[in-house]
């Protein structure tokens, strides 16, 4: 098995390398005025970009809910039924499609029954993420269950998103999973749990389609072998009443290059069931950190810092993030060995950079980190990877929404700010539901040194989609010092008008704080177009979005 795993890993790495080579080859006639080119092939569609790849993740840890999303009905902070109004307003703006809850590792300690009914009667439980820090908020150490199923689904309704609920496979029986589905989806007045839901404030069902069967079941979610987890998955997902909903079960997939976990689960399911019809999605997790340059192999202390970094740290983290493309291609290949028609899609329901503690805006908020311009470029790069693989990736969930890793927002008491990552999601929203197009990027490579050894990284990359006559192109320039004199060539049409939105800053460490919320904000300008060719300058360390109206 190890030989096979090594082969698959090398195949995935090789595929990623070929992709880099392909994007670095010139595809248009050379021009002295530009050093980079983007060729959009309108007649080579790749598939529809699922809006759900722009999904989010909310776990009951640190300040994600308490002080982040949830402030309570009696708070002086503007709220809608206890939910922070600023978060709701911004989530509506970016058209947030789906939100994952309640974890994450927290999910496999969570009993959904603790979070329903009168809040004053709900039990307090030790939080999985309670770390003993004396500065840690007591609600982060001991979960008061003020936010449960009803509050979370109220949040989803307010922002127009679907809920994606993760079931506790490690410590609750399958019976409780089925009853949670009953509570969420049974028609008004039909079952005892439907009546309980009505008593708790929602007569009408929540109509939850997406259900995660466990979380990281190779680790904190049960420490299973893949065949063991396949048995648990079947037990939880078999004959669950849908109450008129087409339930979509998402299996707990691999961590990074664990191809053994993928092949083991798929083979076990195929052997027992003869098919994978029960599985909608296969969850893939990948967090990026620059452990190789850390001074210790300690899992946490070896990570790089969120705000204090140099250009080499910047590029090395981007390389870790770029691994996502090889992971998607590698696991897709393994899945296809059993699932020949590729019925099961990938769900990347945890992704983002992860740094060592110390940059949190609110002392005591475990896992909170300060997103900088680097994280905006990282996030744009990752979303573009998903955009380029619409036939493979059905959903993705950035970790996490607020006051955590790679957050879109930071909040504390009556303070609130949008991070550079939040601005990227706003800029990229037009891709949702668009037709992804094959797009060829050619650009000089970035050259730098890593521990005295020459290293390179690609110089420009992105994605394109078409919705009606609107062509939308996004790209990132990871070079910390050099702009890209660029030309977009549209194969098959001409552009009548266009706009360019740029997210960048003079300092690669720039970040938005409560005191200075506009250090990194997008700038939008009209773009000069010339038929099928568009010329523009893409600044260093930037994320750009180009909207073109085709004639």
Question: How many CB atoms sit inside 10 A of residue 375's CB?
Answer: 26
pLDDT at 128: 76
Would you place residue 293 in the very low, low, confident or very high pLDDT band (cuts 50, 70, 90)?
A: low
Examine the residue annotation and report whether 216 is marked as an active-site residue of this protein: yes
Token pair 């027992």 in the structure block, residue: 272
φ, ψ of residue 126 in degrees (nearest 5): -60, 135
Question: How many CB atoms sit inside 10 A of residue 308's CB?
Answer: 11
Express each pLDDT in 122-181 by its tens digit. 999 987 777 767 677 777 788 999 999 999 999 999 999 999 999 999 999 999 999 999
The residues with which 485 forms a beta bridge, in sequence order, are 537
- Find the catalytic residue in 350, 360, 368, 547: 350
How many whole angstroms from its chain centre is CA 384?
Answer: 12
- Find the catalytic residue in 39, 59, 151, 216: 216
Specify the CATH superfamily of domain 2-46+437-550.
Golgi alpha-mannosidase II (2.60.40.1180)
Express each pLDDT in 430-467 by its tens digit. 999 999 999 999 999 999 998 889 999 999 999 999 99
Token pair 């038929």 in the structure block, residue: 531
pLDDT at 33: 78
Classify the C-alpha dihedral 64-223-171-281 as positive or negative: positive
159, 88 in Cβ contact below 8 A? yes
pLDDT at 62: 78
Examine the residue annotation and report whether 316 is marked as an active-site residue of this protein: no
Please state the pTM of the whole predicted model: 0.92
**Mean predicted confidence (pLDDT) in 311-333:** 97
Residues with Cβ < 8 Å from 453, sequence gap 6 or more?
A: none
Asked if the domains 2-46+437-550 and 47-436 are classified in one and the same CATH topology, the answer is no
Residue 510 has pLDDT above 80, yes or no: yes
Would you place residue 292 in the very low, low, confident or very high pLDDT band (cuts 50, 70, 90)?
A: low
CATH class of 47-436: alpha beta
**Mean predicted confidence (pLDDT) in 513-519:** 97
Domain ranges across the chain = 2-46+437-550, 47-436
Q: Dmax over Cα atoms in the chain, in whole Å?
A: 73
145, 229 in Cβ contact below 8 A? no
Rounded to whole angstroms, how far apart are CA atoms 112 and 177?
A: 9
Share of the chain above pLDDT 90, in %: 83
């Amino acid at each position: 098995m190890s030989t096979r795993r090594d082969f698959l890993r090398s195949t995935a790495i090789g595929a990623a390398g070929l992709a880099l080579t392909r994007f670095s080859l010139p595809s248009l006639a050379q021009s002295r005025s530009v050093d980079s080119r983007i060729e959009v092939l309108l007649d080579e569609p790749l598939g529809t970009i699922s809006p759900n790849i722009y999904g989010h993740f909310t776990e009951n840890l640190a300040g994600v809910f308490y002080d982040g999303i949830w402030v309570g009905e009696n708070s002086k902070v503007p709220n809608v039924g206890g939910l922070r109004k600023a978060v709701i307003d911004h989530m509506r703006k970016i058209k947030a499609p789906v939100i994952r809850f309640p974890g994450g590792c927290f999910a496999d300690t969570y009993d959904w029954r603790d979070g329903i009914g009168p809040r004053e009667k709900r039990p307090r439980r030790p939080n999985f993420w309670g770390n003993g820090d004396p500065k840690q908020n007591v609600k982060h150490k001991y979960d008061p269950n003020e936010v449960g199923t009803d509050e979370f689904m109220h949040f989803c309704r307010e922002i127009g998103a679907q809920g994606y609920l993760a079931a506790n496979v490690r410590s609750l029986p399958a019976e409780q999973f089925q009853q949670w589905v009953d509570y969420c989806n049974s028609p008004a007045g039909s079952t005892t749990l439907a009546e309980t839901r009505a008593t708790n404030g929602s007569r009408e069902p929540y109509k939850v389609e997406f259900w995660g069967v466990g979380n990281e079941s190779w680790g904190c979610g049960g420490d299973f072998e893949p065949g063991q987890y396949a048995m648990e998955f079947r037990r939880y997902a078999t004959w669950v009443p849908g109450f008129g909903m087409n339930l979509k079960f998402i299996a707990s997939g691999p961590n990074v290059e664990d191809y053994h976990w993928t092949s083991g689960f798929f083979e076990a399911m195929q052997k027992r069931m003869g098919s994978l019809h029960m599985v909608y999605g296969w969850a893939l997790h990948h967090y990026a950190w620059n452990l190789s340059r850390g001074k210790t192999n300690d899992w946490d202390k070896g990570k790089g810092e969120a705000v204090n970094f140099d250009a080499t740290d910047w590029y090395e983290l981007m390389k870790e993030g770029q691994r996502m493309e090889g992971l998607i291609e590698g696991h897709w290949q393994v899945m296809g060995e059993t699932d020949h028609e590729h019925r099961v899609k990938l769900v990347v329901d945890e992704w983002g950079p992860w740094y060592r503690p110390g940059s949190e805006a609110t002392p005591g908020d475990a896992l909170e980190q300060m997103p900088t311009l680097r994280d905006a470029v990282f996030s744009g790069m990752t979303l573009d990877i998903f955009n380029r693989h619409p036939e493979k990736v059905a959903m993705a969930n950035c970790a996490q929404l607020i006051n955590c890793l790679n957050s879109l927002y930071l909040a504390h008491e009556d303070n609130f700010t949008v991070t550079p990552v939040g601005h990227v999601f706003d800029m990229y929203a037009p891709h949702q539901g668009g037709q992804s197009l094959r797009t060829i990027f050619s650009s000089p490579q970035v050259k730098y040194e890593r521990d005295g050894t020459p290293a390179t990284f690609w110089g420009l990359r992105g994605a394109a989609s078409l919705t009606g006559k609107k062509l939308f192109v996004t790209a990132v320039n990871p070079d910390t010092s050099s702009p890209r004199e660029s030309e977009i060539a549209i194969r098959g049409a001409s552009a009548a008008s266009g706009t360019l939105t740029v997210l960048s800053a003079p300092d690669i460490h720039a970040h938005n704080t409560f005191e200075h919320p506009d250090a990194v904000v997008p700038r939008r300008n009209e773009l000069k177009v010339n038929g099928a060719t568009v010329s523009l300058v893409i600044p260093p360390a930037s994320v750009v979005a180009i909207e073109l109206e085709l004639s």
